[in-house]
Amino acid sequence: MSLKSEEYWTQHMVSNEIWLNKVDSLDHFHWRNQQYPGYIDLMPVNCGNDLVVMDYGCGPGNDLVGYIEFSKTTKLIGADVSKTALKKAKERVSLHSHNVEFVHLREDDNVINLPDGTIDLVHSSGVLHHVKNLGFALNEIKRVMKPGAKLQVMIYNYNSLWLHLYTAYIHQIEKGLYSTETVLDAFSHLTDGPNCPISHCYRPQEFLRLVCSYGFHGKFRGSSISLTELNILSKRFIAIKNRKLDAEHRNFLSKLTFNEYGHPLYKGNVAGINACFEFTKPIT
């Protein structure tokens, strides 16, 4: 039987380590961001000055540390479905001598135990592609946001090497893993563990339209890539030569160009797993 999200994320907390002190915690923050070149520019944590900020899906507190160290927030809130992750985050932020309010999210209806219109900025990194009901989550997030408040989001990117090369070729063809499943089902096994209960990916414009349908205004900021994806680039041409690889994936890999950093681009955007967005709750 598959685990519910709360149980799963309690057992599989992202980058769950023992941090000995503030320096160790901050070094981990920088190390984690280095695994995804370009990510921190698209999902900044130095933008919370004089704002009430909520990290939606804070896990063990990595981005909370970022806001503590690089912003001067009026109030900082960490919200997560896992009570164990919240406990770990509370221990971690205590190393930084900072008070953070923690809120437990209810998995089935995504209720946020906060009043209406109290948040200036919602930060949600790598979370909304895991929620049970995205509509419930977006409505609750919108409810607690002030008119004009911002929501910055990172979700998994369909237009990525992670899907078209790492999943479709290296795992489904070269390794023969999940070969009888769809590429989306295989992808879901290859992100946050093979038994992760929910793990979706979206084309950027698809996700943009979806979130805006819930009353937000928004834009696609761009995407960033993982070191895992950069490390497998050498297999690109081998994959294109393989007729077993579906034409969609071969065409994607054939159309890649490269920027000055050597990062692959698809239609002008970095072909990496992290798709980043900014949304606004309208004032009227």
Q: What pLDDT, in 10s, does the model give residues 224-242? A: 999 999 999 999 999 999 9
**pLDDT surpasses 70 at 10:** no
If you average pLDDT over residues 62-87, what whole number do you get? 96
Mean pLDDT of 165-184: 97
Confidence of residue 118 (pLDDT cuts 50, 70, 90): very high
pLDDT score of 152 more than 50: yes
Is 258's pLDDT higher than 60?
yes
pLDDT at 20 over 60: yes
Q: Which pLDDT score, from 0 to 100, does residue 16 have?
A: 63
Residue where the block lists tokens 């209960």? 197
Q: Is the pLDDT of residue 264 over 90?
A: yes
pLDDT band at 106 (very low <50, low <70, confident <90, very high): confident
Residue 9 has pLDDT above 50, yes or no: no
Q: What is the pLDDT of residue 197?
A: 76
Better pLDDT: 4 or 22: 22
106-125 average pLDDT score: 94
pLDDT given for residue 5 in this prediction: 53
Q: Where residue 149 falls among pLDDT bands split at 50, 70, 90?
A: very high
Question: What is the rounded CA–CA span in Å between residue 96 and residue 214?
Answer: 36
Q: How large is the average pLDDT for residues 124-150?
A: 96
Average pLDDT over residues 110-131: 96
Q: CA angle, corner 270, sides to 268 and 184, nearest 5?
A: 110
> What is the pLDDT at residue 7?
56
Flag whether pLDDT at 14 surpasses 70: no
Question: pLDDT value at position 11?
Answer: 53
